[in-house]
A and B are shown apart, each in its own frame.
Chain A
Amino acid sequence: MAIAKLKSDATEARLAGVTLPEGAAWAQAARADALTRLRAMGLPSKRDEYWKYTDPSDLTAVTAPKAALFDAQEAPLFGDTDRLEIVFVDGVFDADASDALAGEGIEIMRLSDAMAADIHWAKELYGVLETRGQTPVERPLAVLNTALATDGIVIHATGKVSKPVHISYLHADETSDAILHNLVKVDAGAEITLLETGPGAARFSSCLEVDIADTGAFHHVRTQGRDHERRTVTHCFARVGAESTFKSFTMTVNGVMTRNECVLDIIGDDAIAHVAGVCVGDGKDFHHDDTVFITHDALNGESRQVFKKVLRNGATGVFQGKILVKADAQKTDGYQISQSLLLDEDAQFLAKPELEIYADDVACSHGSTSGAIDETALFYLRSRGVPMNVARNLLTLSFMAEALDEIADPALAEELRDRLEGWLARHS
């Protein structure tokens, strides 16, 4: 099998010379297990069906491709939000820039500390949801992350957490290759907001495992920052309990390669799981991929996927989204929409929406469109005196509104909207 050989060679090349981070016995076992699983499945190649639209070679390469640093010249996001601030620079924890790891309603610490402890709740979560998420589709880059992650943040929300936790991922080294892994465990009735911002590194892999107990709530707002040459792969695995809420929103601006995978398992009745995102990209080097897999395995679950992509000058957007409704998941309400606004003719959007339904009493809908600016609306605005550029940007923002509306906190939504407006003004 030539392809299998190629894969295993590529995988061994990537793993040659890497040493697993140190840790307690359970942590070492989890990493060794991941390594074994990775060797069995091999790193992805563009021949894989799941990577048909996105070439993973930059993400699997032995060394990270160089990425120029970018001076955004704007105030950091969420600066006005009262929050617990945590900073990583090229994947390295920055204690001076970070707040003390403590807060009301949470136990919070670095992953490296948790994994050094002989006894820690992280053992029940680290790599566990990731492993569950390997069927029916393999996600080898998440396995690689579990094996090699050097650090991250682990959060146990035991009550209503008043302040959001903000993790800022800064990029200061052109050749950095960072792998971080975060865990969030939300107790019954507990509620937490996690904010993540920044490019992270020249190449950045981040894996997030979220376990939400019955009646818990997890809110997640993330931005993937403006560095043009950065490569990013993220995975989010969540287990969503009864009457609980999972909401995740991602805004992506620039970057040559972004692959965001989100794998949600609804295991308790009456749960809500929403995942949404917007991306804006300019130029043929921009490639952005949202890959989502939502499994309904309980009664009366509601899931929403809302993705909007604005693409210019040969930029590429990809959406692969699946809703799987198991036989016992009656009364499931599943909604999926992925749309792109192509601001010129050579931008492209590739979408693969999928429904797989084994229950008979469900309401699931999905749609995918790709279109240009509405000329009639554009003329209407201009006839009222609104200049062409302003009118185009207004319509472009309105195109993204449905996704931004998924953010529960209107102040956060407004802040992201302003950033998108700024991007559009710079790129029109």
Chain B
Amino acid sequence: MLEIKGLKVKLEDEDKQILKGLDLTVETGKVHAIMGPNGSGKSTLSYVLSGKDGYEVTDGSALLEGDDLLDMDPEERAALGLFLAFQYPVEIPGVGNMTFLRTAVNAQRKARGQEELSAGDFLKEVRAKAKDLKIDADMLKRPVNVGFSGGEKKRNEILQMAMLTPKMCILDETDSGLDVDAMKLVAEGVNALRSEGRSFLVITHYQRLLDHIKPDVVHIMADGKIVKTGGPELALEVENNGYADILAEVS
């Protein structure tokens, strides 16, 4: 599904290298987790994959089902099926959450040559999915993420993912800021979407989320590279011992 090779990325405005030759392959239908110390470049990876400005790719490639992501506009990547649940979801005053969702869903359908959803069908679908995530009607009416609590913002990200049904979902610390019950809701939301044709890349600092969303593969990222890859037990090791042992072992 996602194939990243030797990816090197620096900041556009500064002489600062953040990703330093990153290799990562996520197979179709699998759930991969990335853990790693603060500042190791996890969010940067997610931004570069989704096409945010401000970064310069100096080497390497990233393919989504064989298509070169790095040359595309963010909206083209989204239409191809890439989705990023943001670590810090953005507030957009003046744009209603519903309008935002409908615009996004229909833009993607249009880009894929599908017909737009009728207002009625769209509403039915949003309501059902919002209900599963315990997002009430009021939150749907309010401007995008404005005045939402941290946990509400994260649930809103998962609602967008559920509506857009992407192929490749990247979740950047979707568990941070969630209470225990919300974490379960989010995990259920993700698990409901798990399917043979859909892959996940879950960035997290904690084992807790991975208790609910059982990953197939766990990667450790440090200083702009994947330094170790293993099974779910790797996450447990981090939870218990931190990164010191792992980093010492690979250096």
Residues of A within 8 A of B (CB): 374-377, 379-388, 390-391, 394-395, 397-402
Pairwise interchain contact B94-A382, C-beta atoms closer than 8 A? no
Q: With A376-B90, A398-B95, A402-B94 given, is the CB distance from A382 to B73 under 8 Å?
A: yes
Pairwise interchain contact A388-B75, C-beta atoms closer than 8 A? yes
Could you jot down 17 A-B contacts, CB within 8 Å?
A377-B91, A380-B86, A382-B78, A383-B50, A383-B75, A384-B100, A384-B104, A384-B107, A384-B164, A387-B107, A388-B73, A388-B75, A390-B107, A394-B95, A395-B94, A398-B93, A399-B94
Considering only residues 64-89 of chain B, those with a C-beta below 8 Å from chain A are 73-75, 77-79, 83-84, 86, 89
Nearest-neighbor residue (CB-CB) of A380 within chain B: B90
Contacts of A386 in B (CB 8 A): 75, 103-104, 107
- Is B53 in contact with chain A by the CB < 8 A criterion? yes
Interface bin, chain B = 20 to 34
Query: How many Å from the CB of B89 to the closest CB on chain A?
Result: 8
* Most interface-central of A374, A397, A398 (chain B CB within 10 A): A398
Residues of B within 8 A of A (CB): 50-53, 73-75, 77-79, 83-84, 86, 89-95, 99-100, 103-104, 107-108, 111, 143, 160, 164
Q: With A385-B108, A387-B75 given, is the CB distance from A379 to B52 under 8 Å?
A: yes
Given contacts A374-B92, A376-B90, A386-B103, 10 further A-B contacts (CB under 8 A): A377-B91, A379-B52, A382-B51, A382-B75, A386-B104, A387-B75, A387-B111, A395-B92, A398-B94, A400-B94
Pairwise interchain contact B74-A377, C-beta atoms closer than 8 A? no
Query: How many Å from the CB of A250 to the closest CB on chain B?
Result: 19
Contacts of B86 in A (CB 8 A): 380
Nearest-neighbor residue (CB-CB) of B105 within chain A: A385
Pairwise interchain contact A377-B92, C-beta atoms closer than 8 A? yes
Contacts of A379 in B (CB 8 A): 51-53, 74, 90
Q: With A377-B90, A382-B51, A385-B111 given, is the CB distance from A390 to B103 under 8 Å?
A: yes
Chain A: interface secondary structure?
helix
Bound CA–CA A391/B75 (angstroms):
10
Pairwise interchain contact B53-A398, C-beta atoms closer than 8 A? no
Query: How many Å from the CB of A399 to the closest CB on chain B?
Result: 7
Query: How many Å from the CB of A120 to the closest CB on chain B?
Result: 46
Bound CA–CA A379/B108 (angstroms):
15
Nearest-neighbor residue (CB-CB) of B112 within chain A: A385
Bound CA–CA A203/B89 (angstroms):
49
Nearest-neighbor residue (CB-CB) of A404 within chain B: B94
* Most interface-central of B86, B95, B108, B164 (chain A CB within 10 A): B95
Bound CA–CA A402/B94 (angstroms):
8
Contacts of B104 in A (CB 8 A): 381, 384-386
Contacts of A391 in B (CB 8 A): 75
Partner of A385, one of B53, B89, B90, B164: B164
Contacts of A383 in B (CB 8 A): 50-52, 74-75, 77-78, 83-84
Query: How many Å from the CB of B177 to the closest CB on chain A?
Result: 18
Contacts of A390 in B (CB 8 A): 103, 107
Contacts of B103 in A (CB 8 A): 381, 386, 390, 394
Contacts of B74 in A (CB 8 A): 379, 382-383
Query: How many Å from the CB of B110 to the closest CB on chain A?
Result: 9
Query: How many Å from the CB of A390 to the closest CB on chain B?
Result: 7
Contacts of A399 in B (CB 8 A): 94
Nearest-neighbor residue (CB-CB) of A384 within chain B: B104
Contacts of A375 in B (CB 8 A): 53
Nearest-neighbor residue (CB-CB) of B84 within chain A: A383
Pairwise interchain contact B78-A385, C-beta atoms closer than 8 A? yes
